[in-house]
Amino acid sequence: MSMEKSTGRRAFEWFEARLPIVSFIDNAVGSKYPAPKNLNYFWNFGSLAGFMLVTMILTGIFLAMNYVAHKDMAFDSVERIMRDVNFGWLIRYMHANGASFFFIVVYVHIFRGLYYGSYKAPREVLWWMGLLIFLAMMATAFMGYVLPWGQMSFWGATVITNLFSAIPLVGDSIVTLLWGGFSVDNPTLNRFFSLHYLLPFVIVGLVFLHIWALHLPGSNNPTGIEAAPADKIPFHPYYTVKDAFGLGVFLLFYFAAVFFAPNMLGDPLNYVAANPLVTPEHIVPEWYYLPFYAILRAIPDKLLGVVAMFGAILILFVVPWLDTSRVRSANFRPVYRILFWLFIINGLILGWCGSQLPEGLPLILGRVTTFYYFFFFLVLMPVVGWMETPKPLPASIGTPVLKAAE
Amino acid sequence: MKKIILAATAALAIAQAPAAFAAESGHPLMEQKWTFDGALGKFDRLQLQRGLQIYREVCASCHSLKYIAFRHLEALGYNEEQLKALALEYEYPDIDDEGSDITRKGTPADHFPNPYPNEKFARASNNGQLPPDLSLMTKAREGGPNYLYSLLLGYEDAPAGVTVGDGMHYNKYFSGGQIGMAKQINEDAVTFADGTKATEPQMAQDITAFLTWTAEPKMEIRRSTGFRVMIYMFIFTLLAYFLKRRIWARLEK
């Protein structure tokens, strides 16, 4: 083999010396990023979330080329995309279902962080950046759902923006500012479109901060103990190939929805154009907001309901300090583990309550589950972490744990 | 791997489960077998043509179909000449080169015209009710095609104790039970060009199939594309799985 460098190699090194972008990527998600060797498939969901963000931005750019942000034309322009734009139906169904699948992936990602204690020191700021992404996603998705200007778009926007009127003194002014007038109307649609296009790029910025914050301590792992250098393997090729496999599995589900059940997660009423004079019998938000919607409606007072709803998300920011346990992974916490799974089931029930009319059983169940939601964070997390005797931790990640990664 | 394939198949099966919703009225719908059911179901061209005939001869006097242009009907099996001839049967208000109001003949690029000049006129002509546009009907109602089919045949005498409003009609599948539209699907209301006997269930099926096509005209290409995408993704996933095993096998050495 010749020791002489090829021209291509020299050109590459010339460029790398001036802008080391390839090394940057290699350090971030390549062969220079050592990751614990025992990560299980729950760790796939971070890269899946990144994939969905890119998918949403790309499909969104092409939709925006054909969408008209005007109250008299928005609905028609969406139908034109569905009928006359080349593969418009595909782009729109990928975008609409993509929102749901993005949330599925992100909820699993948050679930994984909670279960394995990935928020605990020294990863608190990493956790915060993730929560900021989650908040920005919720705002983006809400405004995106308004854009087709169907009945559910219009009335969902009316209900959700009205929540801000509960804020004392300045509430009404805030709502007027959000609306750009005195009801949900054309100015609302215009500013929502503008913000819906802006916020995804804010999310991209937050993702960079999220990954930056990840690389200082490195990835957590299912045991929750610090991984010794000997127990780490390069992200590339080991986790790139594992993520590729995970992506394939994920896409099977995503494409099954896009091509064979594209309206399964949507509301039929959003195929009726917005009509300010006809209020739907039952206004429900998209499924990914339902648990929080249930919390809002579980509380009889409007202001307190809004506080509880936002509090349900904001409380996640202080979870690193609410959890008093010395052990990260719930695998080694026999009591907490049960309470945690109860919390997940509780969240699913909350979601169901959010989809029902707030009366009878759904209302009572909504109140019980809202109570458990906050009880879990405010009481169980600190108290159990303090009282519980964790199972003995392994001395190192070692070989036996590798099997769990398969 | 097996588990994942099983899960994916199960998810597909769930996604394909027929929407057995009771309509908002709470009455279970009359579930029909449709040629477009299932993951790879297709429209029956002749049925769509019969449905178009019903739309033109029965529905079009009150209902618009604004998202459908004559050129779209090529998907029903008509050729360009037939579509041009069809469009010529319609007239549209326009202005000529001097700016004077005229009416002109339709072209394949024109959409089905609205039978009413505006909403107020439509309401005034229909006892205060507004006949909705039909383009998206099967996607805009819980239960979809089965709901529409049931609604069209769901007219019956009001049960004792129910007072039907003036100019309203009792239909148990309609939310609230009272609908502005009178029963329109009557035996032999149309004479089908293809000789099919125009029974009530036949007509209700044909118009529902047609309106399912108007709501989702790209359904067939979506499904056939999806079928190929799924095969591609299965192979990709399988290859990625074996590659992953092979690369991770290095660690065990």
Q: What is the pLDDT of residues B91-117, one digit of tens each?
A: 999 999 999 999 999 999 999 999 999
pLDDT given at position A2: 56
pLDDT given at position A397: 87
Q: Residue A404 above 70 pLDDT?
A: no
Q: What is the pLDDT of residues B182-212, one digit of tens each?
A: 999 999 999 999 999 999 999 999 999 999 9
**Chain B: closest CA distance from residue A297 (Å):** 23
DSSP lists the bridge partners of residue A150 as A273
Biggest alpha carbon–alpha carbon distance for chain A: 80
Calculate what percentage of chain A has a pLDDT beyond 90: 94
Q: Which B residues 87-106 touch A at CB under 8 Å?
A: none
Q: Which residues contact B93 (CB under 8 A, 6 or more apart)?
A: B101, B102, B103
How many angstroms from the chain centroid is the CA of residue A270? Answer: 23
The two tokens of residue B92 are 């549209």
User: Treating both helix axes as pointing N-terminal to C-terminal, what angle do A186-215 and A21-29 enclose, rounded to 10 degrees?
Assistant: 80
What is the mean pLDDT of the segment spanning A282-288?
93
What is the mean pLDDT of the segment spanning A297-308?
95
Instruction: Classify residue B81 by burial, with Cβ atoms within 10 Å: 0-12, 13-18, 19+.
Output: exposed
Are A83 and B72 within 8 A, CB to CB?
yes
Residue A147 near residue A153, CB atoms below 8 Å: yes
Tell me the pairing of strands B101-105 and B169-170. unpaired
pLDDT given at position B18: 41
Q: How confident is the model at residue B252 (pLDDT cuts 50, 70, 90)?
A: confident
pLDDT given at position A55: 98
**Torsion angle, CA of A135/A136/A142/A148, rounded to 10 degrees?**
-160
What is the mean pLDDT of the segment spanning A313-335?
97
Are A241 and B244 within 8 A, CB to CB?
yes
DSSP string, A137-206: HHHHHHHHHHTT-BHHHHHHHHHHHHHGGGSTTTHHHHHHHHHTSSSS-HHHHHHHHHHHHHHHHHHHHH
pLDDT given at position B26: 77
pLDDT given at position A77: 98
Q: What is the pLDDT of residues A11-43, one digit of tens each?
A: 999 999 999 999 999 999 999 999 999 999 999
Q: What is the mean pLDDT of chain B?
A: 91
Q: Residue B24 above 80 pLDDT?
A: no
Degrees (nearest 5) of the Cα angle A381, A386, A389? 110
Chain B residues with CB inside 8 Å of A269's CB? 140
| A359 catalytically annotated | no
Q: What is the pLDDT of residues A185-244, one digit of tens each?
A: 999 999 999 999 999 999 999 999 999 999 999 999 999 999 999 999 999 999 999 999
Claim: this prediction has a pTM higher than 0.90: yes
pLDDT given at position B16: 43
Residue of higher predicted confidence among B1 and B96: B96
Q: Residue A171 above 70 pLDDT?
A: yes
Q: Residue A401 above 90 pLDDT?
A: no
Facing B233 at nearest CB: one of A241, A248, A272: A248
d(CA A33, CA A233): 8
CA–CA distance from A105 to each of A44, A53, A246 (Å)? 9, 11, 12
Q: Residue B253 above 90 pLDDT?
A: no
pLDDT given at position A1: 52
pLDDT given at position A4: 79
pLDDT given at position B191: 96
Q: Is A40 helix (H, G, I), strand (E, B) or coil?
A: coil
Are B67 and A83 within 8 A, CB to CB?
yes
E strand or H helix at B170: strand B169-170
